[in-house]
Amino acid sequence: MARYEPECADETLFLSTDTERIEIGTIDDIVAAIGGETYTIEYDEKQRTQAWLDTDEGRLEIDVRETVTTLPHTEETVSKLREYDMETDRYGLPTRTVEFTNEFVDILEQQGTTTT
């Protein structure tokens, strides 16, 4: 399955493979739609015993701007995003930008017990 890497140009996020480049939206819009510069995942007592987790009493703070611009995405995610337009306005943002933030938050919400 193709991996879509994030790519930034003129403050805009694209997801790209060797043959395709899909526009997602401006980074500022994405960060704002996710809810700010940081996103906290909270792990329960059992989860936080995992040796790979370096948390502050179970809380892992994620730098949203950095993660949005470094985390690759699957072809499945990108095929869903293609269904949405960059032109259509939704909550004042392009629909694809909003759908991307939903997908992104889904990835974060799969981890931990609660997220804020």
Partner 1 sequence: MSTDSAAGNRAASDEGVDDPILEIDDANVTYNDGETYVLNDASVSIDRREILGIVGESGSGKSMFASALLDAVPDPGVLSGQIRYHRNDGSTVDVLELSDEELRQFRWEEVSMVFQGAMSSFNPTMKIRTHFTETLKTHDRSVSEGIDFARGLLENLYLEPDRVLDSYPHELSGGMQQRALIALSMVLNPEVLVMDEPTAALDLLMQRSILQLLDDLQSMYDLTIVFITHDLPLVASLADRMAIIYAFQFAEIGPRDSIIGDSAHPYTRKLLNATPNIDAPLVEMQPIDGEGPAPVNVPSGCRFHPRCSLATEKCRAEDPQLDVFDEFDTDHRAACHHWQEAREEIPLNAGKASDWYDASDMADRTTNTQQSKTDGQPLLSLTNVDVHFTKEQGLLERFSGDPDTVRAVDDVSLDIQEQDLVCLLGESGCGKTTLGKTMIGLQRPTGGSVEYRGQDIWTADGSDSTISHDEIRSALQIIHQDPGSALNPNRRIVDILSEPLRHTHPNASTNECRSRIYSLLERVGMTPPEDFIDRYPHQLSGGEQQRVVLARALLMNPNAILADEAISAVDVSLRIEIMDLMLELQSEFDTSFLFISHDLSNARYFAEHGDGRIAVMYLGEIVEIGSAERLIHDPRHPYTEVLRWATPNLDLDAMEADDPPIREIDVPDPVDPPSGCRFHTRCPVAREVCRKEQPELQEINDGDGKAACFREHPDHEYWDSEPVEGAQRRNEPPN
Report how far residue 74's alpha carbon sits from residue 84's, in angstroms, rounded to the nearest whole number: 16
We find the least distance from the C-beta atom of residue 62 to partner 1, in angstroms, to be: 6
Query: Across the chain, which distance is largest between two alpha carbons, in Å?
Result: 46
Query: Which is nearer to partner 1, 51 or 92 (by Cβ)?
Result: 51
We find the least distance from the C-beta atom of residue 95 to partner 1, in angstroms, to be: 13
Report how far residue 95's alpha carbon sits from residue 47's, in angstroms, rounded to the nearest whole number: 35
Query: Which is nearer to partner 1, 92 or 104 (by Cβ)?
Result: 104
We find the least distance from the C-beta atom of residue 29 to partner 1, in angstroms, to be: 21
Report how far residue 63's alpha carbon sits from residue 78's, in angstroms, rounded to the nearest whole number: 22
Query: Which is nearer to partner 1, 56 or 92 (by Cβ)?
Result: 56
